[in-house]
C-alpha cells in the first residue's frame, strides 16, 4: 500500500523527513527546538527567502520531490552567492495535501540535501502544514566572511558586465515540456539525451555558487542572481546604479548556440533558420530560473574563473535602460509573477 501524508500525524511525517536533511558546520542547534541557533562568525548574516507554489513554479506531473527540493534550495543559495556570501543555513516551510505520497516528501528532503552539499549548508528547521497544493517556502542565511556585500547599486560607467553560469537552458526546458515534445524523464539525473541539459536545467537549476565569493574577492561593483531573465535583471542593476547597460550580441552568441537544438526541436528546420535563432535568443535574453550570476567589474580587473564578459556599463542617457548592441530589444519583459 502506498503511504500518504494523511496516513501519518505531524510527528510521524517529521520523523521521516528530518533525518534526511543536511547538517552543517555553522549549526549550533538544529531541528527539534523552538528555533535553531546558527553561528555568524562575521557578526553579520545574509538572509533571503523564496516561495515555490505548485502549478505556478512547478508541476508535479513533471517534477519529482527531489527536483523540487533541488530547485527550492538552489534559488535561495544563489541569492546569498549574489551578495558575495557563503550559504550556511536554510529554514523550510512546507505545506502539503493529505493525498501526497510520503515518498515524495522524503525525496524533497534528499533534493534539499544534495543541493546544499557543495556549500556545506544545513537545513536547521522550519514548519509543516496541510494545504490544497504543495508549497515550499525557504529562508536562507549566509555568512560574508569579512567581505563587503556586493549590492546592485555599485555599477559605474566603464565597468565590464560579466555573467557566470548558463543562460536560456531553463526556459528552453520549460518550452519543450509545455509543448509535449519531450518527457520529464529525459531530464532525470544522469540522463544523457540531446535535451537532457535543457529539461534538467529547468527541473533542477545548478547555480555557480562559488562564483559569488570569487566575484566579491575580485572587486565586483554590482551583482545579482539572474532569476527573472537577463534583460529584466540587468535592468535592475541599471536602475539601482543609475547607469545604462549595453549587452554585446556577439558575446551572447555562444549562449544562443547552446540552446539552438531545443529551438529546432520546437519547429525550426535547421539551426540557421531565423525562427529558431530568434526563439533561442529570446530564451537567452528573457528566460529566467537558470540562476546564473550577473556582475559588473572595473575594467582593469581580471574576471574570475567562470565569468564571461557580455557587455559594458554606460553613462545613462536619460532613464537607466538595457540595450543590446545599442538598441532596445523589442521584448525585454522577462518573468513577472503577476504578468506571466
User: Do 95 and 174 belong to one domain?
Assistant: no
pLDDT score of 1 = 83
Give percent of the chain with pLDDT exceeding 90: 93
Does residue 285 lie within any of the structural domains? yes
**CA separation, residue 226 to residues 14, 25, 196 (Å):** 33, 28, 21
Mean pLDDT of 90-108: 98
For residue 145, name the pLDDT band (cuts at 50, 70, 90).
very high
Tell me whether residue 330 is in a domain.
no
Q: Which domain holds residue 106?
A: 5-143
Q: What cell was used for 49?
A: 527567502
Alpha helices for 162-246 (secondary structure H): 169-179, 196-203, 210-218, 230-241
If asked whether residues 126 and 159 sit together in one domain, one would say no
Average pLDDT over residues 146-166: 98
106 and 135 housed in the same domain: yes
In this structure, are 18 and 100 located in the same domain?
yes
CATH number at residue 224: 3.90.650.10
Helices (H), 26-85: 65-82
**137, 158: one domain:** no
Residue 338 lies in a domain: no
**Could you give the CA distance from residue 56 to residue 44 in angstroms, rounded to a whole number?**
34
Residue 78 lies in a domain: yes
Residue range 139-147: average pLDDT?
Answer: 97
pLDDT, tens digit, for every residue of 270-281?
777 889 999 999
Do 202 and 75 have their domain in common? no
Q: Domain check: are 138 and 181 in the same one? A: no
Of 143, 165, 195, the domain-final residue: 143
Confidence of residue 338 (pLDDT cuts 50, 70, 90): very low
The answer as to whether 273 is a domain residue is yes
For residue 17, what pLDDT is reported? 92
| CA-based radius of gyration for the chain | 20
Helix (H) or strand (E) holding 94: strand 86-96
Q: How far apart are CA 271 and CA 200, in angstroms?
A: 22
- Across the beta sheet with 135-143, the strand order is 46-53, 135-143, 86-96, 122-130
User: Which pLDDT score, from 0 to 100, does residue 330 have?
Assistant: 73
Mind listing the pLDDT tens digit for each residue in 18-51? 999 999 999 999 999 999 999 999 999 999 999 9
Residue 267: band (very low, low, confident or very high) from pLDDT cuts 50, 70, 90? confident
pLDDT of 116 > 50? The answer is yes
What are 209-262's pLDDT values in tens digits?
999 999 999 999 999 999 999 999 999 999 999 999 999 999 999 999 999 999
DSSP state of 142: E
19's CB contacts (< 8 A; 6+ apart) are none
* Shared domain check, 285 and 159: yes
- Domain closes at, from 143, 168, 201: 143
Do 160 and 59 share a domain, yes or no? Answer: no
Count of domains observed in the chain:
2
Same domain, 139 and 203: no
339: pLDDT strictly greater than 60 = no
Instruction: Flag whether 185 is in a domain.
Output: yes
Q: What rounded mean pLDDT belongs to the chain?
A: 95
Residue 334's pLDDT band, with cuts at 50, 70 and 90, is low
Q: Helix crossing, 65-82 with 210-218: angle to 10°?
A: 10
Q: Are residues 94 and 195 in the same domain?
A: no
123: domain CATH number is 3.30.1330.10
What would the pLDDT profile of 297-319 be if each residue is shown by its tens digit? 999 999 999 999 999 999 998 88
DSSP code at position 271? T
335 lies in some domain: no
Residue closest to 21 by CA, chosen among 103, 104, 111:
111
Domain match, 158 and 120 both: no
CA of 244: how far to CAs of 12, 160, 219, in Å? 55, 12, 20
Question: What is the percent of the chain with per-residue pLDDT over 70, rounded to a whole number?
Answer: 97
Residue 310 in domain: yes
Amino acid at each position: 500500500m502506498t503511504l500518504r501524508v494523511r496516513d501519518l500525524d505531524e510527528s510521524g511525517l517529521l520523523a521521516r523527513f528530518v533525518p534526511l536533511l543536511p547538517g552543517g558546520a555553522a549549526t549550533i542547534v538544529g531541528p527539534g527546538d523552538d528555533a535553531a541557533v546558527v553561528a555568524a562568525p562575521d557578526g553579520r548574516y545574509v538572509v533571503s527567502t523564496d516561495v515555490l507554489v505548485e502549478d505556478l513554479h512547478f508541476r508535479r506531473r513533471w517534477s519529482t520531490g527531489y527536483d523540487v527540493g533541488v530547485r527550492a534550495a538552489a534559488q535561495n543559495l544563489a541569492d546569498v552567492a549574489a551578495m558575495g556570501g557563503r550559504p550556511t543555513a536554510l529554514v523550510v516551510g512546507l505545506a502539503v495535501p493529505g493525498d501526497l505520497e510520503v515518498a515524495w516528501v522524503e525525496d524533497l528532503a534528499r533534493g534539499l540535501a544534495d543541493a546544499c552539499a557543495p556549500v556545506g549548508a544545513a537545513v536547521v528547521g522550519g514548519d509543516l502544514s496541510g494545504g490544497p497544493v504543495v508549497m515550499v517556502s525557504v529562508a536562507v542565511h549566509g555568512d560574508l566572511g569579512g567581505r563587503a556585500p556586493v549590492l546592485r547599486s555599485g555599477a559605474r560607467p566603464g565597468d565590464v558586465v560579466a555573467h557566470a553560469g548558463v543562460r536560456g537552458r531553463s526556459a528552453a526546458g520549460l518550452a519543450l515540456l509545455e509543448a509535449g515534445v519531450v518527457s520529464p524523464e529525459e531530464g532525470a539525473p544522469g540522463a544523457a539525451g540531446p535535451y537532457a541539459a535543457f529539461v534538467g536545467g529547468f527541473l533542477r537549476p545548478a547555480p555557480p555558487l562559488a562564483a559569488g565569493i570569487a566575484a566579491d574577492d575580485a572587486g565586483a561593483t554590482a551583482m545579482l542572481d539572474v532569476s527573472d531573465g537577463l534583460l529584466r535583471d540587468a535592468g535592475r542593476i541599471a536602475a539601482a546604479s543609475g547607469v545604462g547597460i549595453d549587452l554585446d550580441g556577439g558575446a551572447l552568441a555562444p549562449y544562443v548556440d547552446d540552446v539552438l537544438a531545443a529551438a529546432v526541436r520546437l519547429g525550426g528546420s535547421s539551426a540557421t533558420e531565423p525562427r529558431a535563432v530568434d526563439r533561442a535568443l529570446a530564451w537567452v535574453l528573457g528566460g529566467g530560473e537558470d540562476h546564473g550570476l550577473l556582475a559588473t567589474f572595473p575594467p582593469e580587473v581580471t574576471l574570475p574563473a567562470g565569468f564571461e564578459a557580455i557587455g559594458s556599463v554606460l553613462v545613462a542617457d536619460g532613464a537607466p535602460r538595457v540595450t543590446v548592441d545599442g538598441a532596445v530589444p523589442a521584448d525585454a519583459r522577462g518573468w513577472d509573477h503577476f504578468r506571466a
